[in-house]
Structure 1
Amino acid sequence: MIDSTTHARPLFDGPDWSFDLMSTVHDAIQEIALNDLGLNIYPNQIEIISAEQMLDAYSCVGMPLMYQHWSFGKHFVRDETYYRKGMMGLAYEIVINSNPCISYNMEENTMAMQTLVMAHAAFGHNHFFKNNYLFRDWTDASGIHDYLAFAKNFIADCEERHGLDAVEQVLDAAHALRDQGVFRYGRPPKPTAQEQAAMLQQREGAKSGRSVLDLWTDTILGSPEQAQSEGEAALSSRQGELSLPQENLLYFLEKHSPNLAPWQREIVRIVRYLAQYMYPQKQTKVMNEGCATFTHYYIINRLYEKGLITQGAFMEMMHSHTNVIMQPEFDDPRFNGLNPYAIGFAMMQDIRRICENPTVEDREWFPEFAGDPDWKSVMRNAWANYRDESFILQFLSPHLIRQLKLFVITDDEKQANLVVSQIHNKRGYREVRQILARSYDLAFLEPDIQVVDADLKGDRELQLVHRVQNGIDLVDEDRTEVLKHIKRLWGYEVKLTGIDRDSGETLYSRTTRVAAADAA
């Protein structure tokens, strides 16, 4: 119901937008976002782009500046073909985790849609980027633009100096390892004074032409006399010196590869840095979209209540909102898993319900905030201090489990059929919640592959271990290709051993010395 005391003239009445009008609407949204919801945001920079520019942003993982690589062009051609044939649509906007926060809005949007996406991206995503602990701890929003400019110029310079093929070989190998090129559980170790000097030498090496052998001898092995006097180091000693085991393969290769020239190390570092920069977004898809969707929903309703948008504009926005949060049933041909917008928005709405109108069940499950009159503070705390896995474990309620009709299917290789092991009842709530949370935990979704040994003073074979979980192995063809990429960066033989996480049994052993696998 519209509050007549705050009813005002609509800010716009029609589909056409202008920059002045968007600025006026932005200020109205900002007043609600900051003074009502209590959001804390970076300054906004909103840019209007065409469909072709949006496709270009798609191909470069949404970054405003990006180095050249053939894979980006391939993605552009694929997406453009699908778009022109009507087989896919484009996002209304793309938003960058940066300071200022850059939002790219489509020029084809109506003014109503420009209003919606500003509320969604320029305030919802913006607040999440600035306040969630993963983005605070792992990304530098103020420095990303300068770094992207450096990366683009550095790689372009390398292509001119060393040739396009040589640069692409390094990029191909580094891209193949991007998922294994992040620190998952802690900050990278601070570089020692020796490593800092080595990094400076590496960056100067591209200009000075200093040989790789000189760099390797000075920074890793020391003098020949010293290497000879030390002799063959024990495994435990090598692991201590090289900080092994190491989960970040790109980091290890960048720091310790005996084969890479200074400019190649810098390219590996660029790919590793950008992979780490994007990693928090992989861990917070449900929360990030839930925050942005709840924010735009709250703001457009407040705008309508104040009389600042027309009923027609409101209905257009709600139509788009409904499409975004639509969750097909499991037996619907359109079903493709849980829609992160749907579950994220539903959980935000449910947190507000638990605060405003808690049931006895809610008070039993959520004594910390059930009935808390300051639901906005509860929401901001959740956005700041959780990722998808922990957020679901902490905030998914039995009420919402029933509403979403969630259940668990167990795929046991010893059973002839799939088994519905848990349903949305009192006995199954905790198990449903735990298994759903685990499905968003990247520790269970991505293979655990670590460097365990590299005898730098011996045969220099790089030894990797894959800790196999639940019998889920690597795709053999992809594994072979990735090992070739690792060898290209390392320069010597690479051995990958699969070990069962629970039993410790060796499941397989692969080496780049042979074409076929040797079954253990």
Structure 2
Amino acid sequence: MEKRAKASSLLFSGSDWNFQTLSRTYDAIETVALDDLKLDVYPNQMEIISSEQMLDAYASIGMPLMYQHWSFGKHFIHEEHLYRKGRRGLAYELVINSNPCIVYLMEENTMALQALVTAHAAFGHNHFFKNNYLFQQWTDAGAILNYMEFAKTYIARCEERHGIAAVEQILDAAHALMDQAVFRYRRPPRLSSEKERDRIRERLEYEEQSFSDLWRTLPRRKESITPSEAEREAQERKKFLNLPEENLLYFLEKNSLILEPWQRELVRIVRIVAQYFYPQRQTKVMNEGCATFVHYTILNTLFDQGKVGEGTMLEVLQSHANVVFQPNFDDPRYSGLNPYALGFALMQDIERICMKPTSEDRDWFPDFAGNGDWRATLIDAWANHRDESFLRQYLSPALIRKFRLFVLADEPDDSHYKVASIHDERGYDKVRSAIANSYDVGANRPDIQVADVDLLGDRHLRLQHMVQNGVVLAEAGRQATLRHVRRLWGYNVSLAGVDAESGNQLYEVSADETAN
């Protein structure tokens, strides 16, 4: 009798599932997530998809609505080939930062996996998307789907009107510059598909009415000009154009003299997509760590409540162990720190420090060590940090020892590496600082800005790369990229590499030298 009662209290048994089972399990997971963990989430929209649909979602960078481009098809074929050959598995789920939050579940998943990924995506990722300050500042979850629908329709109309080749030429150039198409410090305007349509109509009407060869009729600068006058002119035009400008696509969209209105709109669409994904690049460890900790905690809570059986937990823990597996540095499978492993370990470590701190923990984390409220501590951390600041503030000596982290000194003049710091009393600070710096997307991305352009003169666009630690851009890559910039600008483009410390110019290359 007792066995029968226990079996009847389970949410499910076996690997098969149906929509009633999914709904019943979702409700139980939601109760733990909201009442116990105190998570705050967008409404969820759960969708079941096939493996081919998952591959398609991979190809279109995870968006349910996306414009067409040849690169997405190429990506689809590549991923499908690896999947069919058994060289790569597919994600169990995919989640969209939108309101409602869209969660894709693979129809091939067992019921145990459906429970795991529901907790992971529908509540872990969902809470992080809704509450982290970067996503609140830089994305609009309520408007992104409408905007992508607008973008898809707009680009399709452009293809009908101007031809696929003409559209692809602009998209190819814009895609090549996506890494240099984000604002890191300024907050972009909120998206609205209605406002977008009104804005485009007004822009088209204005440019059609006012367009003439305006720039050819403007007075030319005097041929003879003193150095002081030239410097004053340069300062004035930089101030007028808000230079230097870090967002290259934004500058080209607003100031290119050759782009037609529809081409500017294509550039803007690519720029907005790049900005939408920028917070995800800065929070990979935190986001995955949050979702993994949430699914682990919720499933264990349901097991303790007798709602999930031992067989289910064995399958869940096997999948969980695979996700958080971290190969050693000398393992052939090692490709860096696994964000799932590091993120999950950080969340568990914070829980430990809140509940059972050591004297070392109290020295390092006096603000929350032993406070007894790990839920509030984690929720606060998830809301107010990105990977770099989170690691700098919460990575403990205990975790540094557990992962056996160390720092390599990589000097360009040396023929071999040196171990500069290890996981000991003298090395903790240096190890923590080094790993935090490695997750600083802004510092690790090439700092390339629009430095100057004379719209009334030769219209030569001058870009500047601030070289950090002697790391210059690869020659082939910078030349290919300059060709894309020139395609959108229409006039000569040059890139100068300047040492960030000394200010000395290291190199300069012009698109004229690389143009086909």
Q: Same fold (TM over 0.5)?
A: yes
Give the superposition deviation at 1:204: 4.8
Q: 1:31 to 1:199 in 2, by over 3 A?
A: closer
What does residue 74 of structure 1 align with?
A: 74
Q: 1:318 to 1:170 in 2, by over 3 A?
A: same
1:210 pairs with 2:204: no
Q: 1:355 to 1:144 in 2, by over 3 A?
A: same
Q: Specify the SS of the correspondent of 2:208.
A: coil
What does residue 163 of structure 2 align with?
A: 163
Q: 1:386 to 1:276 in 2, by over 3 A?
A: same
Contact 2:221–2:457 (CA under 8 A) maintained in structure 1: no
What does residue 247 of structure 2 align with?
A: 248
Q: Structure 2: which 5+ runs fail to align?
A: none
Give the superposition deviation at 1:445: 1.6
Counterparts of 1:224-243 in structure 2, within 5 Å, are 224=217, 234-243=233-242
What does residue 365 of structure 2 align with?
A: 366
The 1-side partners of 2:256 and 2:196 are apart by 13
Letter matched to residue 376 of structure 1: R
Contact 2:37–2:375 (CA under 8 A) maintained in structure 1: yes
The 2-side partners of 1:289 and 1:164 are apart by 38
1:113 pairs with 2:101: no
The 2-side partners of 1:134 and 1:150 are apart by 24
Give the superposition deviation at 1:414: 2.3
The 2-side partners of 1:189 and 1:133 are apart by 16
Contact 2:465–2:496 (CA under 8 A) maintained in structure 1: yes
What does residue 322 of structure 1 align with?
A: 321
Give the superposition deviation at 1:416: 2.3
The 2-side partners of 1:407 and 1:365 are apart by 19
The 2-side partners of 1:198 and 1:347 are apart by 41
Q: Specify the SS of the correspondent of 1:459.
A: coil
The 2-side partners of 1:42 and 1:201 are apart by 29
The 2-side partners of 1:141 and 1:453 are apart by 35
Letter matched to residue 73 of structure 2: G
Contact 1:40–1:131 (CA under 8 A) maintained in structure 2: yes
Aligned residues: 500
The 2-side partners of 1:212 and 1:145 are apart by 33
What does residue 392 of structure 1 align with?
A: 391
What does residue 21 of structure 2 align with?
A: 21
Residue identity (%):
58
What does residue 333 of structure 1 align with?
A: 332
Contact 1:212–1:261 (CA under 8 A) maintained in structure 2: no
What does residue 31 of structure 1 align with?
A: 31
What does residue 430 of structure 1 align with?
A: 429
What does residue 193 of structure 1 align with?
A: none
Letter matched to residue 84 of structure 1: R
Letter matched to residue 366 of structure 2: P
Give the superposition deviation at 1:149: 0.2
Letter matched to residue 336 of structure 1: S
1:308 pairs with 2:307: yes
Q: Specify the SS of the correspondent of 2:47.
A: strand
Give the superposition deviation at 1:160: 0.3
Give the superposition deviation at 1:187: 2.1
1:14-65 C-alpha deviation (Å, 9 max, x unpaired): 1111111101100000000000000000000010000000000001110001
Give the superposition deviation at 1:475: 1.3
Q: Specify the SS of the correspondent of 1:48.
A: strand
The 2-side partners of 1:186 and 1:82 are apart by 40
1:418-447 C-alpha deviation (Å, 9 max, x unpaired): 000000000000000000000000122210
Contact 1:465–1:496 (CA under 8 A) maintained in structure 2: yes
Contact 2:218–2:456 (CA under 8 A) maintained in structure 1: no
The 2-side partners of 1:361 and 1:212 are apart by 70
What does residue 420 of structure 1 align with?
A: 419
Letter matched to residue 281 of structure 1: Q
Q: 1:202 to 1:212 in 2, by over 3 A?
A: farther
What does residue 47 of structure 1 align with?
A: 47
TM-score (norm 1): 0.92
What does residue 83 of structure 1 align with?
A: 83
Q: Specify the SS of the correspondent of 2:269.
A: helix
Give the superposition deviation at 1:471: 1.1
Contact 2:138–2:188 (CA under 8 A) maintained in structure 1: no
The 1-side partners of 2:402 and 2:512 are apart by 55
What does residue 480 of structure 1 align with?
A: 479
The 2-side partners of 1:382 and 1:347 are apart by 11
The 2-side partners of 1:264 and 1:74 are apart by 24
Contact 1:128–1:383 (CA under 8 A) maintained in structure 2: yes
Q: Specify the SS of the correspondent of 1:210.
A: helix
Contact 1:285–1:340 (CA under 8 A) maintained in structure 2: yes
What does residue 410 of structure 1 align with?
A: 409
Contact 1:6–1:306 (CA under 8 A) maintained in structure 2: no
Q: Specify the SS of the correspondent of 1:104.
A: strand
Q: 1:113 to 1:187 in 2, by over 3 A?
A: same
Q: Specify the SS of the correspondent of 1:120.
A: helix
What does residue 58 of structure 2 align with?
A: 58
Q: 1:148 to 1:170 in 2, by over 3 A?
A: same
Q: Specify the SS of the correspondent of 1:182.
A: coil
What does residue 381 of structure 1 align with?
A: 380
Counterparts of 1:460-471 in structure 2, within 5 Å, are 460-471=459-470
Contact 2:408–2:419 (CA under 8 A) maintained in structure 1: yes
Contact 2:220–2:457 (CA under 8 A) maintained in structure 1: no
Give the superposition deviation at 1:457: 1.0
What does residue 148 of structure 2 align with?
A: 148
